[in-house]
Amino acid sequence: MKYDVTVIGSGPGGYVAAIRAAQLGLKTALIEKYSTLGGTCLNVGCIPSKALLDSSEHFHNALHNFKEHGIDIPTPQVNLPQMIKRKSEVVSQTVAGINFLMKKNKIDVHQGVGSFVTANQIKITAADGTSTTIETDKTIIATGSKPIILPTVPYDKKRIITSTEALNMPEVPKSMIIIGGGVIGMELGSVYGRLGTKITVVEFLDGLIPTMDKTMGKELQKVLAKIGFSFHFKHKVLDAKVEGEEVVVRAENEKGEIVELRADYCLLSIGRKPYTAGLGLENIGIKTDNKGRVEVNDHLETNVKGIYAIGDVIKGAMLAHKAEEEGVFVAETIAGQKPHINYLLIPGVVYTWPEVAAVGYTEEELKASGKAYKVGSFPFKASGRARASMDLDGLVKVLADAKTDEILGVHMIGPRTADMIAEAVVAMEFRASAEDIARMSHAHPTFTESFKEACLAATQNRALHI
């Protein structure tokens, strides 16, 4: 078996790279060690978490908001096994779609662990121990990432869990300690918080989702506090232990005091690390950096010619759409094209409710760089559409160049901002000024008017509805 391109790992980076390579006429193989395709994103990440977020949001609305809308129903009950079953069906259907795409594009799928023998030979070891070796001209490493585990927090997959177990809980926890106030913690915390779990967040830094613009974390904290979240910021987790059916977490606060927290579950969500185990990088001398990420140059090529790497296993945001863009980029590079990725314009979204979405620079980054900027913001409570749907929390914040008015960053927390951020990405890709957006018609009444209003505010401080 000889291929033009072999992709190792079938997540959103790998399977998209394989499709693009096949579209470009390259004979392509895809190696995946798990029994299903789609990687973290489809099996234990983006898709199942969004399925549970949607279900739990429906429950929350039925319990708290239907009455106000004039819908009287008996008190709704959570049927967690059914919620998890629906989530699993969504995953199966999505994964089946990838199998179809592989067949359609005539990509050979090999099941097993891929490992380098030489730069042009990859051994595939199946679960039953049998192995085959394939020849390849070029290889794309797309082996993704795994959760980071604190050595002093014994991860037993039962009481002390990661996102993978949190997507398959046997019961709705009465209480849950979440270590890490980042994206996974807030999304999965929202799922169980809405179902009635008492959530306690322990975060090392001084706010939630700390890599995003600080205004977003502050707003999100207010909303999550309304559904019963409590927060311990500037707390460093020291250790944890399981005592019967309870987890005891010890953390140290700013003053050096030890705080002891108890709950029936503890979710560890302190980030993810690149996954390269079993790949045999050492067999051919592929370099990794001090965080274990495969090192790549501007063409995403490793130090070994003809071997590329993409997605979570390399530097940059650990996002499915970033991995996808890189998959296309490498396939096109191999085919002799000259593709380009604008990393500044890869949006970030947190699928809580309200959703948080952002693109471009944060205010903190602009301050640190010394760039002169202006800010325009618009609260959803001033939006007619948001009043109609009872989604009054949040705001849109636009950062624009003080001299040229070019949009430098857009940060939104509010209803459907995950979808709304696309307009900001387009605007910034075409280097729009805040005034450009302010002068474009936005359908009324829509949530998108809030982006226009924030741009009006940034342009000449002339928002119309505040």
* Chain contacts with ligand NAI (rule: CB under 6 A): 150, 179-185, 187, 202-205, 210, 236-237, 269-272, 317-319, 349-351
Cα 261 from Cα 172, distance rounded (Å): 19
Q: Among residues 191 and 366, whose Cβ is nearest to ligand FAD?
A: 191
Structure tokens at 32: 């995946």
Cβ 319 to ligand FAD shortest distance, Å = 4
Candidate segments 258-266, 274-282, 369-377, 383-391, binder of ligand FAD by CB under 6 A: 274-282
Q: Among residues 32 and 355, whose Cβ is nearest to ligand NAI?
A: 355
Cα angle vertex 312, ends 43, 49, to 5°?
30
Annotate each residue in 125-144 with x if it binds ligand FAD (CB under 6 A) or - if it does not, as one string: -----------------xxx
Of ligand NAI, ligand FAD, none, which one sits near residue 33, judging by CB under 5 to 8 A according to partner kind?
Answer: ligand FAD
Q: Among residues 16 and 398, whose Cβ is nearest to ligand FAD?
A: 16
Q: Among residues 22 and 318, whose Cβ is nearest to ligand NAI?
A: 318
- Out of 3, 5, 6, 11, name the contact with ligand FAD by CB under 6 A: 11
Q: Among residues 285 and 384, whose Cβ is nearest to ligand FAD?
A: 285
Residues 158-197, interacting with ligand FAD (CB under 6 A): 163, 184
Query: Rule CB under 6 A: is residue 113 a binding residue for ligand FAD?
Result: yes
Query: Rule CB under 6 A: is residue 114 a binding residue for ligand FAD?
Result: yes
Q: Among residues 321 and 381, whose Cβ is nearest to ligand FAD?
A: 321
Cβ 145 to ligand FAD shortest distance, Å = 5
Identify the active-site residue in 64, 299, 444, 465.
Answer: 444
Provide φ and ψ at 269, rounded to 5°: -140, 70
- CB proximity list for 23: less than 8 A, separation 6 or greater: 105, 331
Give me the DSSP letters along 392-460: ---EEEEEEETTT-BEEEEEEEETTHHHHHHHHHHHHHTT-BHHHHHTS---TT-TTHHHHHHHHHHHH
Cα 363 from Cα 385, distance rounded (Å): 27
Listed in order, strand segments (DSSP E) in 284-344 are 307-309
Cα 129 from Cα 138, distance rounded (Å): 26
DSSP single-letter state for residue 196: T
Cα 327 from Cα 105, distance rounded (Å): 15
Structure tokens at 244: 């019967």
**What is the residue type of 144?**
G
- Out of 7, 22, 29, 41, name the contact with ligand FAD by CB under 6 A: 41
Candidate segments 6-14, 293-301, 393-401, 423-431, binder of ligand FAD by CB under 6 A: 6-14
**Known active-site residue 444:** yes
Cα 106 from Cα 21, distance rounded (Å): 11
The interaxial angle of helices 214-226 and 183-195, nearest 10 deg, is 20
Annotate each residue in 338-367 with x if it binds ligand FAD (CB under 6 A) or - if it does not, as one string: -------------x----------------
Q: Among residues 84 and 318, whose Cβ is nearest to ligand NAI?
A: 318
- CB proximity list for 193: less than 8 A, separation 6 or greater: 199, 224, 227, 228, 229
Of ligand FAD, ligand NAI, none, which one sits near residue 10, judging by CB under 5 to 8 A according to partner kind?
Answer: ligand FAD
370 CB burial (10 A radius; 0-12, 13-18, 19+): exposed
Query: Rule CB under 6 A: is residue 318 a binding residue for ligand FAD?
Result: yes
Query: Rule CB under 6 A: is residue 145 a binding residue for ligand FAD?
Result: yes
441, 466, 463, 440: which is closest to 453 by C-alpha?
463
Candidate segments 45-53, 83-91, 369-377, 443-451, binder of ligand FAD by CB under 6 A: 45-53
Q: How many CB atoms lie within 10 A of CB 387?
A: 13
Of ligand NAI, ligand FAD, none, which one sits near residue 281, judging by CB under 5 to 8 A according to partner kind?
Answer: none
Of ligand NAI, ligand FAD, none, which one sits near residue 202, judging by CB under 5 to 8 A according to partner kind?
Answer: ligand NAI
Query: Rule CB under 6 A: is residue 319 a binding residue for ligand FAD?
Result: yes
Q: Among residues 9 and 180, whose Cβ is nearest to ligand FAD?
A: 9
**What is the residue type of 390?**
M
Query: Rule CB under 6 A: is residue 219 a binding residue for ligand FAD?
Result: no
Query: Rule CB under 6 A: is residue 13 a binding residue for ligand FAD?
Result: yes
Structure tokens at 391: 């989604």
Which residue number places its CB atom closest to ligand NAI?
182
Query: Rule CB under 6 A: is residue 250 a binding residue for ligand FAD?
Result: no
- Dihedral over Cα of 323, 328, 331, 337: its sign: negative
- CB proximity list for 235: less than 8 A, separation 6 or greater: 202, 203, 204, 251, 252, 253, 259
N-term to C-term CA, the chain: 66
- Out of 3, 20, 22, 40, name the contact with ligand FAD by CB under 6 A: 40
Site residues (CB under 6 A) for ligand FAD?
8-14, 31-34, 39-41, 45-46, 49, 113-114, 142-145, 163, 184, 275, 278-279, 311-313, 318-321, 323, 351
**Which residues are annotated as catalytic?**
444
